[in-house]
A and B are shown apart, each in its own frame.
Chain A
Amino acid sequence: MARLNWKRFKDERKNMNTVPGEKKKEKFFCIKPLVVALWFALLFLPFNGLRAALILFAVLSISIIFFKFLFSYKNIVIERLQAFYNKIRATGLFSAPSVHIVRSLSLIFLFIIPFITTDYLIDVAILAGIYIILALGLNIVVGFTGLLNLGFVAFYAIGAYAYAILNTRFGLDFWSALPFSIGLTTVAGFFLAIPALRLRGDYLAIVTLGFGEIVRLILNNWDSVTMGPNGISGIAPPVIMSVSLGKLSYYYYFVLLLVILTVFVTRRVYSSRIGRAWVAIREDEIASSAMGINTTIYKLYSFAFGAFWAGLAGALFAGKMQFVSPESFTFMESVLIVSMVILGGLGSIPGVILGATILVILPEILREVQLYRMLALGGGLVLLMIFRPQGLLGGKGVSLRG
Chain B
Amino acid sequence: MLLQQLVNGLTLGSVYALIALGYTMVYGILELINFAHGEIYMLGAYLGIILLGFFTAIGLTSYSLSLSLILTFFLSIIFCASYGFTMEKIAYKPLRKAPRLSPLISAIGVSIFLQNYVMLTQGATDKVFPHLFETSTITFMSVSMTYLQFFIILTSAIVMVFLRLFVRNTKIGKAMRAVAQDKIMASLVGINIDTVISVTFIIGSGLAAIAGLMVAMYYGLVNYYIGYIAGIKAFTAAVLGGIGSIRGAMLGGLLLGLVESLGASYISSEYKDAYAFIILVLILLMKPGGLFGKAELEKV
Contacts and interface: CB of A to CB of B under 8 A. Distances in A.
Interface in B1-59: 31-33, 46-47, 50-51
Contact of B101 (A48, A332, A402): A402
B99 A381 contact: no
Given A4-B184, A6-B97, A47-B117, A342 B278 contact: no
B33 A382 contact: no
Interface string A188-226: 000000010011111101110111011001100100000
Contacts of A6: 96-97
B109 A378 contact: yes
B270 interface: yes
Contacts of B277: 210-211, 213-214
Nearest to A151: B277
A335 B99 CA distance: 19
A381 B109 contact: yes
B102 interface: yes
Given A378-B110, A402-B99, A200 B184 contact: no
Nearest to B36: A378
Given A286-B300, A401-B100, A39 B120 contact: no
Interface stretch (A24-32, A310-318, A350-358, A369-377): A369-377
B101 A335 contact: no
A148 B101 CA distance: 8
Contacts of B281: 195, 207, 210-211, 214
Contacts of A3: 97
Contact of A206 (B33, B103, B274): B33
Q: Is the interface of B mostly helix, strand, loop or mixed?
A: helix
Interface string A33-62: 000000110110011100000000000000
Contacts of A382: 90-91, 106, 109-110, 113
Contacts of B46: 47
Interface string B251-291: 00000000000000000001101100110110011001000
A69 B105 CA distance: 32
A179 interface: no
Interface stretch (B79-87, B129-137, B157-165, B172-180): B79-87
Interface residues of B, number: 61
Given A4-B183, A201-B100, A205-B104, A43 B284 contact: no
B95 interface: yes
B111 A206 contact: no
A171 interface: no
Given A198-B285, A205-B101, A389-B98, A379 B270 contact: no
Given A43-B82, A213-B232, A381 B284 contact: no
Interface in A121-177: 148, 150
A344 B273 CA distance: 34
- Chain A, interface size category, equals 35 or more
A73 to B, nearest CB: 24
B95 A46 contact: no
A338 interface: yes
Nearest to A49: B121
B104 A213 contact: no
A382 B273 CA distance: 28
B181 interface: no
A51 B137 CA distance: 43
Contact of A43 (B86, B108, B111): B86
Contacts of A200: 298
A375 B116 contact: yes
Interface string A227-239: 0000000000000
Interface string A330-373: 01100100100010000000000000000000000000000110
A3 B116 CA distance: 35
A73 B103 CA distance: 32
Given A46-B79, A207-B284, A385 B33 contact: no
Contacts of A243: none
Nearest to B100: A402
Contacts of A206: 33, 232, 235, 239, 280, 284
B130 to A, nearest CB: 15
A371 B120 contact: yes
A46 B108 contact: no
B113 A43 contact: no
Contacts of B300: 286
B213 to A, nearest CB: 13
19 contacts: A42-B82, A43-B83, A47-B50, A47-B121, A195-B281, A198-B285, A205-B33, A206-B239, A206-B280, A207-B281, A213-B277, A217-B271, A221-B270, A338-B105, A372-B120, A389-B99, A389-B102, A401-B100, A402-B104
Given A378-B112, A389-B99, 16 more contacts: A9-B187, A46-B79, A47-B118, A150-B108, A199-B284, A200-B298, A207-B281, A371-B120, A375-B113, A379-B109, A380-B109, A385-B98, A385-B103, A385-B106, A386-B91, A386-B95
Interface of A: 1-4, 6, 9, 39-40, 42-43, 46-48, 148, 150, 195, 198-203, 205-207, 209-211, 213-214, 217-218, 221, 286, 331-332, 335, 338, 342, 371-372, 374-375, 377-382, 384-386, 389, 399-402
